[in-house]
Amino acid sequence: MKHLTRADEDRFREIHLHFGHPMRKSVSSSYHHYCPEEAWAPPVNLYSDDENYYLIVNLAGTSGGQIDLEAKDGELILSGFCPTPTPGETVGALQVEYMEIDDGRFSITLDLPNDANINEINAAHHSGKLLVTVPKM
């Protein structure tokens, strides 16, 4: 496993600032934010190499048909729906005792870097992760 060096951390901050900071509500990790009328923001990792920017979005429980991705006006807009995860077949009434997994509508908007080629953006959904590749011009 590769450990991050100080240079890696500085580059991550540079990429993060380059993409713009997604708007997120500050909620303790031990508290479930349940507001059906609001959209939640999925966690995102940002990477880059010499030719591309990469976004990996954690969307466990979604299928490709539940995800919308749009690039316009210098922004990348990701939205969709994640169903509530349940244990499947149960005996009697199911009661929620504790819940941390976000579900329902999600949305996140990221500012695209000036050198992003929005005409060649590619996305692939696999194993609950969405990989978005944004080529550089």
pTM: 0.71
Query: Residue 9 falls within a domain, yes or no?
Result: no
Helical H runs in the chain? 6-19
For residue range 13-51, what is the model confidence (pLDDT) as tens digits?
555 555 554 433 333 344 444 555 578 999 999 999 999
Query: Residue 29 falls within a domain, yes or no?
Result: no
Query: Residue 53 falls within a domain, yes or no?
Result: yes
Query: Residue 114 falls within a domain, yes or no?
Result: yes
Q: What is the pLDDT of residue 10?
A: 55
- Please list the residues that pair with 125 across neighbouring strands: 130
Mean pLDDT of 96-109: 88
> Phi then psi for 19, rounded to 5 degrees?
-80, -20
Query: Residue 60 falls within a domain, yes or no?
Result: yes
Long-range CB pairs of 114-118 (<8 Å, 24+ gap) are 116/53, 116/71, 118/71, 118/72
Give the residue among 28, 33, 43 at the shortest CA–CA distance from 102.
Answer: 33
Do 129 and 58 contact (CB within 8 A), yes or no? yes
Radius of gyration of the chain (CA): 17
Q: Which CATH number belongs to the domain containing residue 106 in this structure?
A: 2.60.40.790
Q: What is the pLDDT of residue 16?
A: 52
For residue range 44-86, what is the model confidence (pLDDT) as tens digits?
999 999 999 999 999 988 887 889 999 999 999 999 999 888 8
Buried-state track 65-92, b at ≥16 Cβ within 10 A, e below 16? eebebebeeeebebbbbbeeeeeeeeee
Range of the domain at 48: 38-84+98-137
Query: Residue 134 falls within a domain, yes or no?
Result: yes
For residue 16 the two structure tokens come to 């993060």
Query: Residue 120 falls within a domain, yes or no?
Result: yes
Total domains in the fold of the chain: 1
Give the residue among 67, 57, 53 at the shortest CA–CA distance from 22.
Answer: 57
Query: Residue 78 falls within a domain, yes or no?
Result: yes
